[in-house]
Amino acid sequence: MTGLAAAISAGTIGLLFVSLVVESVPVFKTEGVAFLWGTDWFAGEVYGALPMIYGSLIVTGLAVVMVLPFALGSAILTSEFLSGRVRLVVKAAMELLAGVPGILYGLMGIALLAVWVRDLFGLIDGNTLFTAGLLLAVMILPTVMTLAEDALRAVPGETRDTALSLGLTRMETVMQVVVPQALPGLAGAVFLGLGRAMGETIAVMLVIGGIDRIPQPWFDLFASGQNIPSKIGREAAEALGFDLQWSALIALGLVLFMMVMTLTTAGHFLLRKAR
């Protein structure tokens, strides 16, 4: 039964990939490989994916940079310094937060984060790439924290006892012995968090702004933008039945599929290596 379930799962993923490739063919025939680095997207005229790819990379990168200190710090505190009962309570709370629907985070982003970003930085509109990255950081914090805590707990207790018996302090043991041994698992936790962040649609769509362009200058994080999921979410309903526009959106989905699958596979590989 286990083999059958695995075969069904792998077959489903393979079928999805083949479907995305087949549906993407028309736009690649029309635009060529230039579809991937084109900067203009006008429905019915020209399709360029680069602004959306840029938005996905920038927003996801921002989320990771912002979440790493808090997620890893919380994981170390929970795993190494809290008592058993308190650790279980914190872990349970984080796992519950990881299951909160994305639309609720999106509503929080509209009501709180967008307003705070607008007022704090003196912007006309708080719907920006920075706001989307900040919201994604909040969303993936529980996921990265719980997986990182699991990776730290997987380090044998004998390792800690040996380090302490050699005269290392508790903090030195954690930072110089436990964390280096758990590094593959910590990296896996980050990659899996990246995979979730890169595929999030509704929450990002509500706060990113929705403009199909690369900011000028390109590093302006307080400009409105668009990432791949938000673009698909905005145009999928109206594009259904219009061959080339629909094919272009499916091609965006194919790009996103490859990005997320790469990150997720790397994350699972690193976590398995750590365990």
Q: Two tokens at 115?
A: 């307003």
Instruction: Return the domain boundaries, the chain.
Output: 2-274
Spatial distance between the Cα atoms of 158 and 142, rounded to a whole number of angstroms? 28
In the predicted model, is pLDDT for residue 273 greater than 70? Answer: no
Q: Measure the CA–CA gap between 267 and 35, rounded to whole angstroms.
A: 29
Statement: residue 274 has pLDDT above 60: no
- pTM for the structure as a whole: 0.87
pLDDT digits (tens, 9 = 90+) for 120-171: 998 888 899 999 999 999 988 988 998 888 888 888 888 888 888 888 888 8
Tell which CATH architecture fits domain 2-274: Orthogonal Bundle (1.10)
Long-range contacts of 154-162 (CB under 8 A, 24+ apart): 154/182, 154/185, 154/274, 154/275, 155/181, 155/182
Strand, helix or coil at 46? strand
- The encoded tokens of residue 64 equal 């990771």
CA dist 161 and 49 (Å) reads 53
